[in-house]
Amino acid sequence: MTTAYSNPDVAVMPGVYAPQQDSRLLIDTMRNLGVAAGRRVADLCTGSGVAALAAAAQGAETVTAFDVSPAAVRCARGNALSAAANVDVHLGSWARAREFGPFDLVTSNPPYVPHDPANDEAAVSTRFGRPLAWDAGRDGRLVLNPLCATVRDLLDDDGVLLLVHSEFAGLTRSLGILGDNGMSAQIVAEQWIPFGPVLSARAAWLEQTGLLQAGRRVERLAVIRAQRR
């Protein structure tokens, strides 16, 4: 979770992850690659629905969004209604998405922040959302591992995955898991972002684990593009 950016078309309810710069990087990459127009799109871990709405605005044929948080589902549905966007939002994870696939494009900004459950100093105010939206286990891969291992099953033959990723959650590992599961994967966009509230609260612990150099307070974000082989 990084610094916020302003999006007047998206309302955020209490307890829902507000759009951050990682969402913007995903949306900009989707636009720059031109992979949404005319495609059947699934947005996993949709949160407020900001990426799903962007896919619709970029001309997607259909957009189906998923989140495991009931509050996020309500929020995303409200934003789709307000924007008069053709976005269907469902409660569930990538496993539920299988019921609606295959898709031409899968986008995801999943939880990826490493987390020590015993570290009370890393707590973050709930006004930024629920920890479910960013905490992803000690290595940040609680969602990334199963997602990278199974996302091929969601894609059509020429389907594309766009996955937002933090340096702190093992970019090389995700590329390897995708490759081991029949995907050709590469990094197609990168950006350095100042720490937002979550990483700022977790910085001391990240330094202790060796994931973060002492005193550094910027994060490398990346977008992985993967396709079926």
Q: Tens digit of pLDDT for each residue in 150-204? A: 999 999 999 999 999 999 999 999 999 999 999 999 999 999 999 988 888 888 8
What are the strands of the beta sheet with 103-108, ordered from one edge?
87-91, 62-67, 40-44, 103-108, 155-166, 218-228, 183-194
pLDDT above 90: residue 215: yes
The contacts of residue 210 (CB under 8 Å, 6+ apart) are none
Residue 132 pLDDT grade (very low, low, confident, very high; cuts 50, 70, 90): low
Listed residue (121, 212, 217) closest to 167, CA to CA = 212
φ/ψ (deg, to 5) at 127: -65, -15
Listed residue (20, 70, 73) closest to 46, CA to CA = 73
Q: Cα(220)–Cα(2) distance, rounded to whole angstroms?
A: 10
What is the DSSP secondary structure assignment for residue 178, as one 8-state letter? H
pLDDT at 103: 98
Q: Cα(103)–Cα(160) distance, rounded to whole angstroms?
A: 8
pLDDT at 84: 95
Write the pLDDT tens digit of every residue in 82-117: 999 999 999 999 889 999 999 999 999 998 888 776
Q: Output 186 or 138, whichever has higher pLDDT.
A: 186
**Average pLDDT, stretch 110-134?**
62
**Average pLDDT, stretch 5-11?**
67
Write the pLDDT tens digit of every residue in 42-51: 999 999 999 9
* Residue 54 contacts residue 30 (beta carbons within 8 Å): yes
The contacts of residue 99 (CB under 8 Å, 6+ apart) are none
Burial class (CB in 10 A: 0-12, 13-18, 19+), 173: middle
What is the DSSP secondary structure assignment for residue 17, as one 8-state letter? P
Write the pLDDT tens digit of every residue in 10-49: 898 888 888 989 999 999 999 999 999 999 999 999 999 9
* Residue 200 contacts residue 113 (beta carbons within 8 Å): no
Report the run of H or E that residue 40 belongs to, with start and end: strand 40-44
pTM for the whole structure: 0.90
Pairing of strands 87-91, 183-194: unpaired
pLDDT at 76: 97
Residue 142 pLDDT grade (very low, low, confident, very high; cuts 50, 70, 90): confident
pLDDT above 70: residue 5: no
CATH T-level assignment (fold) for domain 21-228: Rossmann fold (3.40.50)
